[in-house]
């Protein structure tokens, strides 16, 4: 299978980073949360997860040139007064790496300086040439802070195309989260922690995050009638226009209420058919970043779904850190997509008309 070595390393890196996040979420302290210059939250776990993935990929794939486009950087950790938090992240990363049976074992403990360097390996700009790893060390930091959904999202771009994606979703139940799920009463419904992975042309698989049990192949929903479909959107109204989604859902005749969850766990849940549609319409002026969608996009497309912008164009991950989009991102299966595109077009036109009055 193509990308076998890379997939092995990516699964290992995302699982280990997720373990670090789970530990932090359990003992979350107020001092673990900082605010970035754009006022979004970042925690010791975001930094720790980024360092773990960066170090692990480099160790496991040491023969290859390494380029990583990742969300976090060390600027705030280098400021005066950050020493305590930096020490804490370094200890977290050292403790986490010590638990793993690595290909090349860690022979010495990392210093705070090594930690800063590992985080800053993620400053690549990506682009259309060569290979670039793309990482969101915690996607859904707000969900993470609430104790809800979040994901460690790792993907690989080759010549501007996504060829591999891994989503570790520590709080996502192994059973379906669809509102009307028959699995709801089954004994497995309490178990949480899913690892989704996909490589180009080979389909999407899911396995429990913390066990060695075999992966199962997953497929998007086969629902053809939108009335029977349910749709996902962001939990945070600031991340996506809930009014616009509800107008689109009404046009399609969707009966179920929206399923609002944080992070790319939405893409994971869609890839196994928990819902049939994902609608994401950021407020005007917001620019989507590639690390929020690279892993999720391949997980859904390899499971048979379609991911486009609101105009029906495939997402272009070759332009650097940002995605240039027509209005938003929509996801559905092949049958529903033409109807969805029509409903999206009509709802956006109505919204524009209303706002120009
Ligand atoms: N105003 C905004 N509009 C759209 N997306 C936003 C946003 N502010 C933050 N985000 C992005 O939304 C991501 C979470 O997605 P979701 O809404 O699906 O949970 C955040 O990822 P991080 O949590 O990694 O920062 C962040 O990149
Ligand atoms: Mg963030
Ligand atoms: Mg994110
Ligand atoms: Mg993030």
What residue owns the CA closest to ligand 1's atom 8?
Answer: 239
Q: What is the pLDDT of residues 305-315, one digit of tens each?
A: 999 999 999 99
Answer whether 109's CB lies under 8 Å from 94's CB: yes
Among the bound ligands, name the one nearest to the CA of residue 288: 1
For residues 155 and 132, what is the distance between their CA atoms, to the nearest angstrom? 8
For residues 291 and 247, what is the distance between their CA atoms, to the nearest angstrom? 28
High-pLDDT (> 70) share of the chain, %: 94
The per-residue pLDDT for 185 is 47
CA angle 88, 89, 92 (to 5 degrees): 90
Residue with tokens 């996040």: 21
For ligand 4, an ion, list residues with CB under 5 A.
71, 136, 138-139
C-alpha dihedral sign at 192, 197, 202, 203 = positive
The per-residue pLDDT for 355 is 83
Structure tokens at 96: 């986490």
- Distance between Cα 102 and ligand 1 center (Å): 32
- Distance between Cα 105 and ligand 3 center (Å): 30
Q: What is the pLDDT of residues 242-259, one digit of tens each?
A: 999 999 999 999 999 999
Residue with tokens 């990516």: 10
262 lines ligand 1 (CB under 6 A): yes
Overall pTM > 0.80: yes
For residues 260 and 281, what is the distance between their CA atoms, to the nearest angstrom? 14
- Cβ partners under 8 Å of residue 177, min gap 6: 259, 261, 269, 274
6-15, 173-182, 237-246, 347-356: range with lowest mean pLDDT: 173-182
Higher pLDDT, 232 or 211: 232
- Identify the burial level of 80 via C-beta atoms within 10 angstroms of its C-beta, where 0-12 means exposed, 13-18 middle and 19 or more buried: exposed
For residues 322 and 28, what is the distance between their CA atoms, to the nearest angstrom? 31
Question: Rounded mean pLDDT of 321-330?
Answer: 94
Catalytic hit among 90, 141, 199, 301: 141
The per-residue pLDDT for 141 is 95
The per-residue pLDDT for 101 is 64
- Cβ partners under 8 Å of residue 254, min gap 6: 226, 227, 229, 230, 231, 277
Q: What is the pLDDT of residues 118-170, one digit of tens each?
A: 999 999 999 999 999 999 999 999 999 999 999 999 999 999 999 999 999 99
Answer whether 231's CB lies under 8 Å from 258's CB: yes
What residue owns the CA closest to ligand 1's atom 6?
Answer: 239
Q: How confident is the model at residue 328 (pLDDT cuts 50, 70, 90)?
A: very high
109 tagged catalytic: no
Q: What is the pLDDT of residues 23-77, one digit of tens each?
A: 999 887 667 778 888 777 789 999 999 999 999 999 999 888 999 999 999 999 9
Among the bound ligands, name the one nearest to the CA of residue 21: 4
Interface predicted TM-score (ipTM): 0.99
322 lines ligand 1 (CB under 6 A): no
The per-residue pLDDT for 107 is 57
For residues 59 and 9, what is the distance between their CA atoms, to the nearest angstrom? 9
Q: Dmax over Cα atoms in the chain, in whole Å?
A: 67
90 tagged catalytic: no
For residues 244 and 46, what is the distance between their CA atoms, to the nearest angstrom? 31
Question: Which numbered atom of ligand 1 lies nearest the CA of 238?
Answer: 1
């Amino acid at each position: 299978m193509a990308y076998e070595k890379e997939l092995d390393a990516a699964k290992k890196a995302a699982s280990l980073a997720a373990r670090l996040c789970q530990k932090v979420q359990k003992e979350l302290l107020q001092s673990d949360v900082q605010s970035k210059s754009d006022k979004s939250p970042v925690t010791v776990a975001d930094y720790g997860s980024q360092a773990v993935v960066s170090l692990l990929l480099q160790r496991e794939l040491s023969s290859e040139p390494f380029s990583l486009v990742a969300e976090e950087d060390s600027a705030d950790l280098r400021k005066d007064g950050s020493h305590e938090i930096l020490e804490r992240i370094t200890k977290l990363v050292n403790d986490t790496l010590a638990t793993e049976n690595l290909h090349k074992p860690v022979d010495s403990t990392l210093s705070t300086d090594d930690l800063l360097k590992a985080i800053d390996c993620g400053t690549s700009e990506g682009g259309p040439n060569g290979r670039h790893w793309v990482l969101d060390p915690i996607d859904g930091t707000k969900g993470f802070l609430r104790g809800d959904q979040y994901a460690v999202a790792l993907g690989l771009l080759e010549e501007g195309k996504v060829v591999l994606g891994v989503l570790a979703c520590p709080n996502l139940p192994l059973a379906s989260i669809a509102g009307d799920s028959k699995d709801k009463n089954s004994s497995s419904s309490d178990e949480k922690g899913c690892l989704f992975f996909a490589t180009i042309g080979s389909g999407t698989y899911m396995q429990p995050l913390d066990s060695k049990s075999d992966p199962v192949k997953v497929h998007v929903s086969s629902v053809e009638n939108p009335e029977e479909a349910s749709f996902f959107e962001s939990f945070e109204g600031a991340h996506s226009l809930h009014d616009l989604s509800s107008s689109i859902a009404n046009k399609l005749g969707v009966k179920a209420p929206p399923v609002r969850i944080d992070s790319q766990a939405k893409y994971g849940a869609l890839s196994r058919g928990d819902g049939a549609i994902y609608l994401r319409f950021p407020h005007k002026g917001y620019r989507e970043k590639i690390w929020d969608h690279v892993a999720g996009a391949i997980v859904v497309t390899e499971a048979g779904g379609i991911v486009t912008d609101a105009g029906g164009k495939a997402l272009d991950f070759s332009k650097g850190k940002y995605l240039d989009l027509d209005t938003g991102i929509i996801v559905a299966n092949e049958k529903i997509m033409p109807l969805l595109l029509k409903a999206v077009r009509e709802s956006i036109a109505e919204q524009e008309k209303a706002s120009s009055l």
